[in-house]
Structure 1
């Protein structure tokens, strides 16, 4: 297992005595829920790492990157780099039937973003932190959604 996020997952699991669960039993929407949080903390860490900003700026930068249309861009920028397994996981998430609909995104953006979040959640539970970082970094560079301010 990798250091970092897997340590966080392992620590949470150990501290709160969570049972071992077969990843294949998680619903796509449960993986998306987790992947959304993983992506959010990664992006927030990048933004805060650039230096102190006002709360409005922090939220604005984060919201621009984590919105569904941006997640679609990120996924499309790295789609050719996905392994067969990752592509299957993404498609499973993209095709999941959600009981809710985004107010601020097209259905296509929303479904692709859900697939992206499912992939990130799945990789997180597998302890593949470096792969998460690789895909997000590559997507951010290819789309230009993130530029260092310094």
Structure 2
């Protein structure tokens, strides 16, 4: 039987198996940090959604999509911004202010830029190996915004009573 690896050990194993060099996250542009952060954040949200119980995959996708859209990410970063360290705030602002070749399709420019800043911060925390800090910030942001209510909160509501932000 294979030994279970911690997240740190898994990522070290992955880098070795994939022949990837260690790179200081500070050398990456804010948009590269946002690129990896987008994937990490999506994975975190999907894991949270499937943990809420079995449901049809299209419903899981709908719930996940609602939580990863720019307006939801903008709300999340606004909720946790006061808790950011000076270094985290600087990373967020670099991402938010980065000039992107893509444009917001279904979001305001302000929300899109804030979301890019959040994704840059998520990417940086992930690449720095600060998984606990990353998890704490995302979890706290979801709680403060009400984007991901606790399962017992949903049990008390009828399906028709839920707001656009609740799943």
Q: Is the TM-score greater than 0.5?
A: yes
Could you say which residue in structure 2 is the equivalent of 1:74? 76
> Larger relative CO (CA 8 A, sep 6+): 1 or 2?
1
Match of 2:97 in 1: 95
Question: Which residue pairs with 1:141 in the alignment?
Answer: 143
Equivalenced residues, count: 148
Alpha-carbon distance in 1 for matches of 2:81, 2:7:
23
State the partner residue of 2:134: 132
Structure 2 gap segments, 5+ residues each: 153-167
Alpha-carbon distance in 1 for matches of 2:133, 2:6: 12
Please state how far the C-alpha of 1:14 moved relative to its aligned partner. 1.4
Pairwise CA distance, 1:5: 4.0
Greater C-alpha radius of gyration: 2
Q: Does the CA-based 8 Å contact 1:6-1:124 persist in structure 2?
A: no
Unaligned runs of 5+ in 1: none
TM-score for the superposition, normalised by structure 1: 0.94
Pick which of 57-66 and 8-17 moved more: 8-17
What is the alpha-carbon root mean square deviation over aligned residues?
Answer: 1.3
Seen in structure 2, the aligned counterparts of structure 1 residues 6 and 32 have a Cα distance that, compared at 3 Å, is: farther
TM-score computed with the length of structure 2 as normaliser = 0.84
Cα distance, 1:4 vs. partner? 4.6
Q: State which of 49, 52, 57 in structure 2 corresponds to 1:50.
A: 52
